[in-house]
Chains A and B, each alone.
Chain A
């Protein structure tokens, strides 16, 4: 077990595309970190750089204080679970799991003992004699995990290990991976594009977009205080509603207007917005913070729109609403009442739900409650 430290790590492919902008990241010993981002964001490249399967164009990688960039993969003491599992087709499950030990010349008896131990841990003892092609997707997944776990490496790398499983299996394996991490105490770096997976597994999550690290934070912070519009829009399902908002100086501090409706800027956010009078900022409201119906006293923003589509989720529903100004908003509502398609819905947001992002997309102000929640941790 060891900590992983990346400094200024960058990768540019020979064709000139920048897969990864210089990036710093520290994963403490025994931590579970997740790399989250849409496909093509560079998260798999980052993992492959750490494993030694790609050569970085700049920067350094240290594992347990030892510099390893430049070392071949086999000298880095990392284990990796591949998206397609990459089980050796010509070897039995036993030999697949034992392979890393064989490479390290672990004596046969010791090998057999550790393979059994790992197989028991993963509940695949009965499969040890089989070939990979005789296994189901879930079983293959376990074997791939077993091959990584068997040798207690300094760092575990996992490249979308659950993405080839069906939805139910995925949720089950998620819990198992979390349990495995607790039991082994290993340093895990886990790549996924699935935010539910990231939120449930990661102690901290690094959000990547187009080769850049957007935010590194624990799941609560990621949700409560997204660092920029990308993270705000990517995290949450659906992501945060983002609407351009014009800000001007008013008699009692800054005033704003979004989607053709005035926004009452809460007093605690006024300071942050004041310098932007005359500029266009981005107003963010989470779909779950939007309410339907006649607004009470506390409404900070009122906007009406036509219901264009409805996603029914059983216990609740998501309404997609087009405002008069042409903005598209999502609202997460209780399952009842159910709006008719085309019906005009009066929506409103309380003052404690407003996020503000600057012209560069960075977060300017979050709701006071979010800060409080963060401070309380």
Chain B
């Protein structure tokens, strides 16, 4: 669709630039505020000094690292997210493949099972799961934060639909060339499932990096506490120092933003793809 001429284009750019500026204003306040002395964050927030400070320093960042064990939280979050992504890909991709491609007796029932579980939100099992995890002695462990999230009905469904659409002849060629069903999957189907792998990895990573309710319930100490719970605690930890809080926030989001900028395509296309499938 070719819309209008140059003037219309300019209007569009102006509108989008203005909207984006308003939209990202809170993000800018966060970054700038994290560089300002604590005492001047709130009073200057809504003034032009909110975005253009007199002096900037990394003092808040040093304060955060001194006040709490930020690096431990970061390591916990990173380990939980990375392990869940790795385990998730390892179990959900083959399951989606088996449901989409292989002939086995329980296939239809297994598929119905996965589709039925698709409608159960995590919040609907959080309470009994806590009970279960306590019984297993998993409270305050990484295991409790990783293992229950490895298998995912959504990820299985994502791989299932992806493999349904993949041309069959590639795996058939592999079978005729001498591969068994497992090797046809590992050596031919999987290397050609990069979009699904990336989408699944990104969505799992985001969910785990931002996870709040479950770690809040299942962790009580500092040892395995991930960043979101740590931030919520830090936010109410006296003395209230907004510069420190914002510095914590910036450090917490920086890894995700870097990943987002590096793999923007997979973030955006992954979500768009799930939308088209819905």
Give residues in A with beta carbon < 8 Å to B: 51-53, 72-74, 76, 78-80, 82-84, 86-90, 99-100, 103-104, 147, 151, 157
Contacts and interface: CB of A to CB of B under 8 A. Distances in A.
Contacts of B176: 51-53, 73-74, 76, 78-80, 157
B40 interface: no
A136 B134 CA distance: 61
Residue of B167, B176, B187 contacting most chain A CB atoms (<10 Å): B176
B177 to A, nearest CB: 4
Given A82-B169, A88-B170, A53 B175 contact: yes
B178 A80 contact: no
Contacts of B175: 51-53, 72-74
Nearest to A91: B191
A74 B170 contact: no
Given A73-B176, A74-B177, A157-B176, 10 more contacts: A53-B176, A72-B180, A72-B181, A73-B175, A74-B175, A74-B176, A80-B172, A89-B192, A104-B178, A147-B173
Contacts of A84: 167, 169
Interface string B149-190: 000000000000000000101101111111111010001100
A103 B183 contact: yes
A99 B169 contact: no
A35 B242 CA distance: 79
Contacts of B173: 80, 82, 86-88, 147
Contacts of A80: 172-173, 176
A49 to B, nearest CB: 13
Prevailing SS type, chain A contact patch:
loop
10 contacts: A51-B175, A53-B176, A73-B172, A74-B178, A79-B177, A82-B173, A84-B167, A103-B183, A147-B173, A147-B177
Interface of B: 167, 169-170, 172-181, 183, 187-188, 191-192
Contacts of B167: 84, 86
A99 B177 contact: yes
Nearest to B178: A103
The 3 closest A-B pairs by CB, nearest first: A103-B178, A86-B173, A86-B169
Nearest to A73: B175
Contact of A90 (B169, B172, B180, B191): B191
A79 B174 CA distance: 10
Contacts of B177: 74, 79, 99-100, 103, 147
B101 to A, nearest CB: 12
Nearest to B190: A90
A82 B183 CA distance: 20
Contacts of A157: 176
Contacts of A90: 191-192
B169 A74 contact: no
B192 A99 contact: no
Contacts of B181: 72
Contacts of A151: 178
Contacts of A86: 167, 169-170, 172-173
Contacts of B172: 51, 53, 73, 80, 82, 86
Contacts of B192: 88-90
Contacts of A78: 176
A147 B176 CA distance: 11
A158 to B, nearest CB: 12
Nearest to A76: B176
A73 B173 CA distance: 10
A145 to B, nearest CB: 13
Nearest to A79: B176
Contacts of B187: 99
B229 to A, nearest CB: 41
A74 B191 contact: no
A85 to B, nearest CB: 8
Contact of B178 (A53, A82, A89, A100): A100
B107 to A, nearest CB: 13
A157 B177 CA distance: 12
B170 A103 contact: no
Residue of A76, A83, A88 contacting most chain B CB atoms (<10 Å): A88
A242 B192 CA distance: 51
A52 B175 CA distance: 9
A52 B170 CA distance: 15
A233 to B, nearest CB: 32
Contacts of B191: 88, 90
Contacts of B183: 103
Nearest to B177: A100
